[in-house]
Chain A
Protein backbone atom coordinates (compact mmCIF):
# COMPACT_ATOMS: atom_id res chain seq x y z
CA UNK A 1 0.00 0.00 0.00
CA UNK A 2 2.90 2.34 0.73
CA UNK A 3 4.00 1.87 -2.86
CA UNK A 4 0.67 3.13 -4.13
CA UNK A 5 0.61 6.47 -2.36
CA UNK A 6 3.24 8.99 -1.35
CA UNK A 7 1.08 9.65 1.71
CA UNK A 8 1.22 6.12 3.05
CA UNK A 9 4.05 4.68 5.10
CA UNK A 10 4.12 1.01 6.02
CA UNK A 11 6.17 0.03 9.06
CA UNK A 12 6.96 -3.56 10.03
CA UNK A 13 8.05 -4.13 13.60
CA UNK A 14 9.63 -7.17 15.17
CA UNK A 15 7.72 -6.57 18.39
CA UNK A 16 9.88 -8.99 20.37
CA UNK A 17 12.82 -6.57 20.11
CA UNK A 18 11.00 -3.49 21.35
CA UNK A 19 9.46 -3.69 24.80
CA UNK A 20 8.21 -0.11 24.68
CA UNK A 21 6.23 -0.99 21.58
CA UNK A 22 4.64 -4.04 23.22
CA UNK A 23 3.57 -1.89 26.17
CA UNK A 24 2.44 1.13 24.20
CA UNK A 25 0.33 -0.81 21.74
CA UNK A 26 -0.74 -3.52 24.20
CA UNK A 27 0.32 -6.30 21.90
CA UNK A 28 -1.12 -9.60 23.06
CA UNK A 29 -1.23 -11.27 19.68
CA UNK A 30 0.24 -10.89 16.21
CA UNK A 31 0.04 -9.66 13.61
CA UNK A 32 -1.37 -6.53 15.20
CA UNK A 33 -2.02 -3.56 12.94
CA UNK A 34 -2.28 0.05 14.08
CA UNK A 35 -3.19 2.82 11.65
CA UNK A 36 -2.44 6.45 12.55
CA UNK A 37 -2.35 5.50 16.22
CA UNK A 38 -6.16 5.33 16.25
CA UNK A 39 -7.45 2.32 14.35
CA UNK A 40 -6.23 -1.09 15.40
CA UNK A 41 -7.03 -4.71 14.72
CA UNK A 42 -5.58 -8.15 15.19
CA UNK A 43 -4.87 -10.77 12.57
CA UNK A 44 -4.37 -10.80 8.84
CA UNK A 45 -7.31 -9.33 6.93
CA UNK A 46 -8.65 -9.79 3.44
CA UNK A 47 -7.54 -6.92 1.20
CA UNK A 48 -10.98 -5.25 1.16
CA UNK A 49 -11.28 -5.27 4.93
CA UNK A 50 -7.76 -3.90 5.34
CA UNK A 51 -8.47 -1.20 2.80
CA UNK A 52 -11.64 -0.14 4.59
CA UNK A 53 -9.61 0.41 7.78
CA UNK A 54 -7.12 2.53 5.84
CA UNK A 55 -9.87 4.55 4.17
CA UNK A 56 -11.51 5.13 7.55
CA UNK A 57 -8.21 6.55 8.84
CA UNK A 58 -7.87 8.66 5.69
CA UNK A 59 -11.32 10.14 6.17
CA UNK A 60 -11.18 10.72 9.92
CA UNK A 61 -10.70 14.43 10.65
CA UNK A 62 -8.73 14.07 13.88
CA UNK A 63 -5.86 12.15 12.39
CA UNK A 64 -2.35 12.72 13.43
CA UNK A 65 -0.09 12.26 10.51
Chain B
Protein backbone atom coordinates (compact mmCIF):
# COMPACT_ATOMS: atom_id res chain seq x y z
CA UNK B 1 0.00 0.00 0.00
CA UNK B 2 1.42 3.39 -0.92
CA UNK B 3 2.49 5.69 1.89
CA UNK B 4 1.02 8.67 0.11
CA UNK B 5 -2.71 9.25 0.26
CA UNK B 6 -4.55 9.32 -3.06
CA UNK B 7 -5.12 13.10 -2.98
CA UNK B 8 -1.44 13.71 -2.18
CA UNK B 9 -0.45 11.50 -5.11
CA UNK B 10 -2.75 13.45 -7.42
CA UNK B 11 -1.41 16.78 -6.17
CA UNK B 12 2.23 15.74 -6.56
CA UNK B 13 1.66 14.11 -9.96
CA UNK B 14 0.18 17.34 -11.26
CA UNK B 15 2.95 19.45 -9.72
CA UNK B 16 5.59 17.20 -11.29
CA UNK B 17 3.83 17.32 -14.68
CA UNK B 18 3.82 21.10 -14.58
CA UNK B 19 7.27 21.70 -13.18
CA UNK B 20 9.71 18.89 -13.90
CA UNK B 21 12.07 19.36 -16.83
CA UNK B 22 15.15 17.15 -16.74
CA UNK B 23 15.45 13.68 -15.23
CA UNK B 24 16.34 13.41 -11.56
CA UNK B 25 17.78 10.26 -10.02
CA UNK B 26 17.25 9.64 -6.33
CA UNK B 27 19.88 7.29 -4.95
CA UNK B 28 18.80 5.55 -1.77
CA UNK B 29 21.26 3.97 0.62
CA UNK B 30 19.45 1.64 2.94
CA UNK B 31 20.12 -0.77 5.74
CA UNK B 32 20.27 -4.49 5.10
CA UNK B 33 22.91 -6.39 3.21
CA UNK B 34 25.17 -6.38 6.24
CA UNK B 35 27.82 -9.05 6.53
CA UNK B 36 26.46 -9.66 10.01
CA UNK B 37 23.23 -11.06 8.60
CA UNK B 38 22.87 -14.66 9.55
CA UNK B 39 22.24 -16.80 6.46
CA UNK B 40 18.74 -18.14 6.28
CA UNK B 41 17.48 -15.70 8.85
CA UNK B 42 15.62 -12.59 7.80
CA UNK B 43 17.18 -9.22 8.46
CA UNK B 44 15.87 -7.44 11.50
CA UNK B 45 13.14 -5.14 10.25
CA UNK B 46 12.21 -1.80 11.62
CA UNK B 47 15.69 -0.99 12.86
CA UNK B 48 15.43 2.23 10.89
CA UNK B 49 13.12 3.76 8.27
CA UNK B 50 14.83 2.25 5.22
CA UNK B 51 11.78 0.21 4.22
CA UNK B 52 9.44 3.19 4.47
CA UNK B 53 11.86 5.51 2.67
CA UNK B 54 12.30 3.03 -0.17
CA UNK B 55 8.54 2.72 -0.50
CA UNK B 56 8.14 6.49 -0.47
CA UNK B 57 10.73 6.95 -3.23
CA UNK B 58 9.12 4.26 -5.36
CA UNK B 59 5.78 6.03 -4.85
CA UNK B 60 7.35 9.23 -6.20
CA UNK B 61 8.90 7.31 -9.09
CA UNK B 62 5.39 6.19 -10.06
CA UNK B 63 4.23 9.79 -10.26
CA UNK B 64 6.59 10.97 -12.98
CA UNK B 65 8.63 9.33 -15.76
CA UNK B 66 11.33 11.91 -15.02
CA UNK B 67 12.07 10.50 -11.58
CA UNK B 68 14.34 7.48 -11.34
CA UNK B 69 15.21 5.63 -8.16
CA UNK B 70 18.31 3.56 -7.48
CA UNK B 71 18.60 1.50 -4.33
CA UNK B 72 21.86 0.45 -2.69
CA UNK B 73 22.75 -1.15 0.60
CA UNK B 74 25.15 1.00 2.57
CA UNK B 75 26.86 -2.17 3.76
CA UNK B 76 26.86 -4.36 0.66
CA UNK B 77 27.56 -1.52 -1.79
CA UNK B 78 30.45 -0.01 0.13
CA UNK B 79 32.12 1.64 -2.84
CA UNK B 80 28.97 3.56 -3.69
CA UNK B 81 28.43 4.54 -0.06
CA UNK B 82 31.99 5.83 0.15
CA UNK B 83 31.70 7.70 -3.10
CA UNK B 84 28.64 9.52 -1.80
CA UNK B 85 30.04 9.78 1.75
CA UNK B 86 27.11 8.04 3.34
CA UNK B 87 27.57 6.94 6.95
CA UNK B 88 24.00 6.28 8.08
CA UNK B 89 20.70 5.00 6.73
CA UNK B 90 18.35 5.72 5.20
CA UNK B 91 20.13 8.30 3.06
CA UNK B 92 19.14 9.86 -0.25
CA UNK B 93 21.51 11.50 -2.75
CA UNK B 94 20.45 13.40 -5.88
CA UNK B 95 21.84 12.89 -9.37
CA UNK B 96 21.26 15.13 -12.35
CA UNK B 97 22.67 13.86 -15.64
CA UNK B 98 24.48 11.22 -13.57
CA UNK B 99 26.26 13.98 -11.67
CA UNK B 100 26.14 14.24 -7.88
CA UNK B 101 24.33 17.48 -7.08
CA UNK B 102 25.63 17.57 -3.51
CA UNK B 103 22.28 17.17 -1.76
CA UNK B 104 21.69 14.54 0.92
CA UNK B 105 18.73 13.60 3.06
CA UNK B 106 19.44 11.47 6.12
CA UNK B 107 16.45 9.79 7.71
CA UNK B 108 13.00 9.47 6.24
CA UNK B 109 11.85 12.70 4.62
CA UNK B 110 8.54 13.20 6.39
CA UNK B 111 6.68 16.30 7.49
CA UNK B 112 8.59 19.47 6.69
CA UNK B 113 11.39 17.46 5.07
CA UNK B 114 9.03 15.83 2.60
CA UNK B 115 8.15 19.30 1.31
CA UNK B 116 11.86 20.11 1.11
CA UNK B 117 12.46 16.87 -0.82
CA UNK B 118 9.79 17.77 -3.40
CA UNK B 119 11.18 21.30 -3.75
CA UNK B 120 14.70 19.96 -4.23
CA UNK B 121 13.53 17.44 -6.85
CA UNK B 122 11.91 20.28 -8.80
CA UNK B 123 14.91 22.62 -8.43
CA UNK B 124 17.36 19.93 -9.55
CA UNK B 125 15.12 18.96 -12.46
CA UNK B 126 14.92 22.56 -13.60
CA UNK B 127 18.59 23.13 -12.89
CA UNK B 128 17.73 26.34 -11.11
CA UNK B 129 16.71 27.62 -7.71
CA UNK B 130 15.32 30.74 -6.08
CA UNK B 131 18.57 32.20 -4.79
CA UNK B 132 19.37 35.81 -5.64
CA UNK B 133 21.87 36.41 -8.43
CA UNK B 134 24.27 38.08 -5.98
CA UNK B 135 24.13 35.01 -3.73
CA UNK B 136 24.90 32.73 -6.67
CA UNK B 137 27.91 34.74 -7.77
CA UNK B 138 29.38 34.69 -4.27
CA UNK B 139 28.81 30.94 -3.96
CA UNK B 140 30.39 30.32 -7.36
CA UNK B 141 33.62 31.90 -6.12
CA UNK B 142 34.00 29.45 -3.22
CA UNK B 143 36.99 27.18 -3.60
CA UNK B 144 36.91 25.42 -0.27
CA UNK B 145 34.74 22.40 0.48
CA UNK B 146 31.72 23.38 2.53
CA UNK B 147 29.32 21.00 4.27
CA UNK B 148 26.07 22.55 5.46
CA UNK B 149 24.14 20.33 7.86
CA UNK B 150 20.53 21.18 8.57
CA UNK B 151 18.87 19.38 11.47
CA UNK B 152 15.11 19.24 11.66
CA UNK B 153 12.44 17.13 13.26
CA UNK B 154 9.25 16.01 11.56
CA UNK B 155 6.45 18.36 12.51
Contacts and interface: CB of A to CB of B under 8 A. Distances in A.
Contacts of B154: 14, 16
Contacts of A18: 88, 106-107
A30 B152 contact: yes
Interface in A3-23: 3-18, 21
B135 A17 contact: no
Nearest to B110: A14
Nearest to B136: A4
A3 B142 contact: no
Contacts, number: 150
A27 B59 CA distance: 32
B149 A7 contact: no
A11 B29 CA distance: 14
A16 to B, nearest CB: 5
B107 to A, nearest CB: 3
A9 B107 CA distance: 17
Contacts of A15: 107, 151-153
B144 interface: yes
Nearest to A2: B102
Given A13-B149, A34-B149, A36-B147, A6 B102 contact: yes
B20 interface: no
Nearest to B142: A58
B131 A2 contact: no
Given A10-B102, A15-B153, A58 B148 contact: no
Nearest to A52: B138
Nearest to A34: B149
Contact of B146 (A8, A17, A30): A8
A31 B147 contact: no
A32 B116 CA distance: 15
Given A3-B129, A11-B148, A17-B48, 11 more contacts: A2-B102, A3-B102, A12-B105, A12-B116, A13-B152, A14-B108, A16-B154, A21-B151, A30-B151, A33-B148, A47-B132
